[in-house]
Amino acid sequence: MQKMTLKHTKELDIFFNEHRRNCTNCGKTFVEGDTAHLGYMKGRDAALLCDDCAPMLEETVVRYYWQELEYEEPLPDDKLWRYMDLAKFV
Ligand SMILES: [Zn+2]
């Protein structure tokens, strides 16, 4: 198994959050307990791969124990808001 480089970048973290549900190569839906392999393909394209596709990674940045989010994921068009008192806002 390829060694993890642990060279996280902000772009790679965003890529993970936007693609976390499925393997970006074969489309397999991750389920609790799967391993998700995050890294780069040849040509430096970011990828999040399942166990079967993982050998395709040129660089493995990190492997995650895949689990469901503990909160409801907001949709891209959702408005985020919260109440706070004026003193805290200031
Ligand atoms: Zn796959």
Domain that holds residue 79: 10-89
Q: How far is the CA of 37 from the centre of ligand 1 (A)?
A: 10
Q: How far is the CA of 48 from the centre of ligand 1 (A)?
A: 8
- Dihedral of CA atoms 40, 3, 35, 15 in degrees, nearest 10, equals -30
- Each residue's pLDDT, cut to its tens digit, for the chain (90 residues) gives 899 999 999 999 999 999 999 999 999 999 999 999 999 999 999 999 999 999 999 999 999 999 998 988 888 899 988 888 999 989
Question: Would residue 22 count as lying in a domain?
Answer: yes
Q: How far is the CA of 59 from the centre of ligand 1 (A)?
A: 16
The total number of structural domains in the chain stands at 1
Question: Would residue 3 count as lying in a domain?
Answer: no
- The pLDDT score that the predictor gives to residue 37 is 98
- The pLDDT score that the predictor gives to residue 59 is 97
Question: Would residue 1 count as lying in a domain?
Answer: no
Question: Would residue 44 count as lying in a domain?
Answer: yes
Question: Would residue 2 count as lying in a domain?
Answer: no
Question: Would residue 5 count as lying in a domain?
Answer: no
DSSP for the chain, please give it: -PPP-----HHHHHHHHHHTTB-TTT-PBP-TT-EEEEEE-TTS-EEEE-TTTGGG-SEEEEEEE----SSPPPPTTPPP-----HHHH-
Question: Would residue 4 count as lying in a domain?
Answer: no
